[in-house]
Amino acid sequence: MARYSKEDIICMIKEADLRVTTHRVAVLSYLSKVRQPVTVYEIIDTLRKKHSIDQATVYRNLSSLHDSKLIRRLDFNHGHAHYELETGRASHQLVCSNCETIEKIEGVPADDVIKKMLKKSKQFKNVTTHSVEIYGLCKNCL
């Protein structure tokens, strides 16, 4: 996962026509450093330690950052969303159905599957990005 400087993050926020705030920079900085999608609770716990940020502020920022396509919201059927920085690259995760462990897998192309899906589609001709979640049991839950 790419790490971005504070200046890069400020540019991303400005390019999305959002106001640059300390909290938005903090949320995007944190998401640029994590290796897998994280829950809002993980974001809050981490950011509370360094920034005086409350739960409502985190939710508002996640919503505006998602609406501006700076972050990706993922649903792994756990009853809560997970978030990651939107990089424009495909997102592939292995998800434990038992303990909810998530492992992000990079470098595995899904081009053949996408081509086959587009061939069968009656309404789509192009895919800009994709997300794949594979469910199973992690080694600890076997």
Q: Which CATH number fits domain 89-142: 3.40.1160.10, 3.40.190.10, 3.30.1490.190, 2.10.109.10?
A: 3.30.1490.190
Its pTM stands at 0.82
CB 48 within 8 A of CB 65: no
Fold of 1-87: Arc Repressor Mutant, subunit A (1.10.10)
pLDDT for the residue 87? 85
CA 42/CA 25 separation, integer angstroms: 16
CA 136/CA 31 separation, integer angstroms: 25
CA 97/CA 78 separation, integer angstroms: 9
Q: pLDDT tens digits, residue range 67-120?
A: 999 999 998 888 889 999 998 888 899 999 999 999 988 888 888 999 999 999
CATH 1.10.10.10 residue ranges of the chain are 1-87
Q: What percent of the chain has pLDDT over 90?
A: 73
Q: pLDDT tens digits, residue range 10-60?
A: 999 999 999 999 999 999 999 999 988 999 999 999 999 888 899 999 999
